Amino acid sequence: MLSSLSPYGLFLGLFLASFASLWGQKSFPTLNELELQPKAEAFLKTAIAQFDGQRYRQAVLALDQAMQANEEGQLSDILFYYKALCYLELEEYGAAKNQLDTAISFVDNKAHYYYYRASALLQLGQNQAAYSDLDQSLRLQTDNPKAWLKKGLLLQQQQAYRQALMAYEQALSYQPNWTEALYYKGVLLLQLGLAEKGCQCLEEAKNLGLDKAARAQAQYCNIKSK
């Protein structure tokens, strides 16, 4: 049986805190995927080493040097995108958005540019703009479960519960055992008063090792041993 639960209290307490854990894997592609001028390549190698070592400020400086050496400008969007990834790690979301604005001005058909700009916009509280970017990202790459989950969270915040549930189910269709998606689907079902189904989702996420699902289940699902 579901314990006492206000309609929005559970979800709103979790909404903004969720996004920091949903960036996705941020990494630079290998250099053999790129056509680089020698000097720009050297600076980019330094930037990659600094990024992998979690020295994000130094990575930004190396990327600035790579930009100066990128005389033909063919890598401009990629270098601005890389800088945005560094700023996301530094939690400087305004700077990350600005870098992605520039990257998109060069190349406007890369799904991950819109996805990460949406991530920055969410942290800046610009939810409507973030929703638009998530839609664009999913138009370009429909099989990104993290984008579907973020879209679901925004829809759930707007009380568009049916659409939010569909978004969570889309996320799970691409990554069936993803504990985060199971968790938020469970939270939504609890909000809708579907206690049994919601608690089943939390149980599944808990069994897959998600601690916060176990805590939510213990708090909101009264499970008594016989």
155-195: pLDDT as tens digits: 999 999 999 999 999 999 999 999 999 999 999 999 999 99
Alpha-carbon dihedral 47, 49, 52, 53, rounded to 10 degrees? -110
Q: Tell me the longest C-alpha to C-alpha distance in the chain.
A: 73
Q: Give the angle 113-119-123 at the CA atoms, nearest 5°.
A: 145
CA gap 7, 185 in Å, rounded: 15
In this prediction the pTM is 0.84
* Concatenated DSSP letters of 74-123: TTHHHHHHHHHHHHHHTT-HHHHHHHHHHHHHH----HHHHHHHHHHHHH
29-62: pLDDT as tens digits: 555 555 556 688 889 889 999 999 999 999 999 9
Whether the CB-CB separation of 117 and 137 falls below 8 Å is answered with: no
* pLDDT averaged over every residue in the chain: 85
Answer yes or no: is pLDDT of 11 > 90.
no
Q: Supply 165's token pair.
A: 């549930």
DSSP state of 204: H
pLDDT band at residue 224 using 50, 70 and 90 as cut-offs: very low
Query: How much is the average pLDDT of 91-95?
Result: 97
Using CA atoms, how far residue 221 sits from 4, 153, 164, 213, 217, in Å, is 9, 22, 22, 11, 5
Query: How much is the average pLDDT of 214-223?
Result: 87
Q: State the pLDDT at residue 35.
A: 58
Radius of gyration of the chain (CA): 20
